Amino acid sequence: MKLKKITILALIMLSTIAKAQSIESSSHSTSGYIKSDGTIETSSHSTAGYIKSDGTIENKSHSTAGYIKSDGTIENKSHSTIGYIKSDGTIENSSHSTVGYVKKDGTIENSNHSTIGYVKDNGTVENSSHSTIGYANGVKREWAAVVYFFFKFN
């Protein structure tokens, strides 16, 4: 499960691999890193996977795990679309049904417009009670919201 979360966070951090990034748990303990060459490492610096420049995500054996497209489409390893991030912050499932919204102020809402969480400017991710549930420093709010609130990547 930890490896899957690191891989998904790596998807989100695709656009920020210019320098090494830490992946932190809610207690600020480092659970992984994304290095400038696209290597995803665990907290003990074991290789967990790779992000290629074309958006391909690979596991540590170099098998493809998924893809992130520049148009907001998210695909699994079989190129099946699992969701969409629209330019207005609307999050849709693969059937184009709205599952939620990411507001410009970082408020995350479900499809009924009830607040389910927040993604702060500094990358802190909070639940609806403002308890910290994770960190996604330097990551687009929409991408963090997809991982923390809308999709389960199994």
User: Please, which residues bridge with residue 56 across strands?
Assistant: 67
According to the model, what pLDDT value does residue 150 have?
A: 79
User: Please, which residues bridge with residue 58 across strands?
Assistant: 50, 64
According to the model, what pLDDT value does residue 14 have?
A: 42
According to the model, what pLDDT value does residue 31 have?
A: 47
User: Which residues span the domain enclosing 88?
Assistant: 2-150
Number of folded domains that form the chain = 1
According to the model, what pLDDT value does residue 127 have?
A: 87
According to the model, what pLDDT value does residue 43 have?
A: 57
Give the chain's largest Cα–Cα span: 41
According to the model, what pLDDT value does residue 8 have?
A: 54
CA atoms within 13 A on the CB side of 31: 19
Would you write out the chain's pLDDT as a tens digit for each of its 154 residues? 554 554 454 455 443 333 344 444 445 544 445 555 656 666 567 776 666 667 677 778 888 877 768 898 978 888 999 889 899 999 999 999 999 999 999 999 999 999 999 989 887 778 899 987 766 665 668 766 776 777 654 3
According to the model, what pLDDT value does residue 16 have?
A: 38
According to the model, what pLDDT value does residue 15 have?
A: 36
Element (DSSP H or E) covering residue 81: strand 81-85
